Amino acid sequence: MKTQDIVKLIESVKNLDIKSYSRLKDEIEKRDSIKFVSYLLNNDNNEKTCPYCKSRHLYKWGVRNDLQRYKCKNCTKTFNILTGTPLANLHKKGRWLTYAQCIIEGLSIRKAASKCGVHRNTSFRWRHRFLQNSGYIKPDKLSGIVEVNELIFARSEKGNKKLKRKPRKKGYKSVKHIPIKNRVFTLFCRDRGKNTFDGILNKFSADNLKSDLSLITKDTLLCSHNKAVYLKYTKENSVRHGILNISKGESVKKDVVHIKNVLVYQLDLQMWMVRFRGVATKYLHNYLSWYREMDEFDFKITSETVLLRAMRPERYNTNHFR
């Protein structure tokens, strides 16, 4: 834009009425948000690779929608920093950081939509795009003293137009009232360094535990209550086992063996999830990962971090930001 045009623009701003000035101000703030998000994405310091062939031989290929495009020398395809990520093809880029803050605050779909000025369906789509890859950000291993416990959720078909079961009244009085076929078992493992692993089990059995607990090291002391599943798993896999007889009121053994940390984590998770008034089972893994991510950063995570982790979770772990 030429200097003369800028001067004319400034002069015309002086003659605006209050309503027009307010509209102009809102448009400038909106544009600033888009520019900032684009700057944040474009200035990713990690080495860029082609999302199609994983080649690192790239060169710049123009700018579109404020995002730098690249062309791969190997496969000749063009792309930008968002290609192949959950955020690809999402609109209203200037509101992403505001929505990331809604993720941090744990707002409902409608509250987040109201805060960002988008439709509730857009808010729902953004939530699960932002959380899509969070399930992959889990600890590589758990060592030392590891506490393990299962948590049962009622199977939910919330949002489905057709139910695969007979309709029932909302909720159950307790876990004991949930029919076995409607139970969803989730496993939680937490070491004393506050590293947490969670997973949804197809069936609560020793064989399923073997695949989910493959990340514990050989010198690990696994603490659990005395359910037959844990006893069978530790015996078959030669894992040191600290057993608690909860039915007899045994909560701590030898001042070391207990599962208080994982129980507190599960209780906090359940209290945190109350705000959503029921979670569909097909999205349960997203909510487990959501809370684990917040706990990983002690709920002090920034909106920029949430945005970058949604884009490239494998590159932005906790150590990257601390």
3-state DSSP assignment of residue 228: helix
Torsion of the alpha carbons at 96, 102, 108 and 113, rounded to the nearest 10? -40
104-111: Cβ within 8 A, 24+ apart: 104/294, 104/299, 104/301, 104/302, 104/303, 104/306, 106/272, 106/275, 106/294, 108/275, 108/276
Element (H, E) at 257: none
CATH architecture label of 138-160+171-299: 2-Layer Sandwich (3.30)
- Give average pLDDT by consecutive 10-residue segment, the chain, 322 residues: 69 72 65 82 82 92 91 94 90 92 93 94 94 81 90 87 76 77 90 90 85 82 90 88 83 87 94 90 92 88 88 56 39
Q: Report pLDDT for 318.
A: 47
User: Could you give the CA distance from residue 44 to residue 38 in angstroms, rounded to a whole number?
Assistant: 10
Of 132, 145, 322, the closest CA to residue 244 belongs to: 145
Sign of the alpha-carbon dihedral angle for 298, 299, 302, 303: positive
What's the token pair of residue 27?
A: 């448009």
Q: Quick one: how far is CA 241 from the chain centroid?
A: 31
Q: Please list, residue by residue across 81-90, b when 16 or more beta carbons sit within 10 angstroms of its beta carbon and e when fewer do.
A: bbbebbbeeb
Whether the Cβ atoms of residue 188 and residue 288 lie closer than 8 Å to each other? no
Q: What is the DSSP letter of 48?
A: P
Domain boundaries, the chain: 12-134, 138-160+171-299
Q: Quick one: how far is CA 234 from the chain centroid?
A: 31
Torsion of the alpha carbons at 248, 253, 255 and 256, rounded to the nearest 10? -130
Whether the Cβ atoms of residue 189 and residue 197 lie closer than 8 Å to each other? yes
User: Could you give the CA distance from residue 230 to residue 188 in angstroms, rounded to a whole number?
Assistant: 13
CB neighbours (10 Å) of residue 192? 14
What's the token pair of residue 186?
A: 């989730």
255: left (phi over 0), alpha (psi -120 to 50) or beta: left
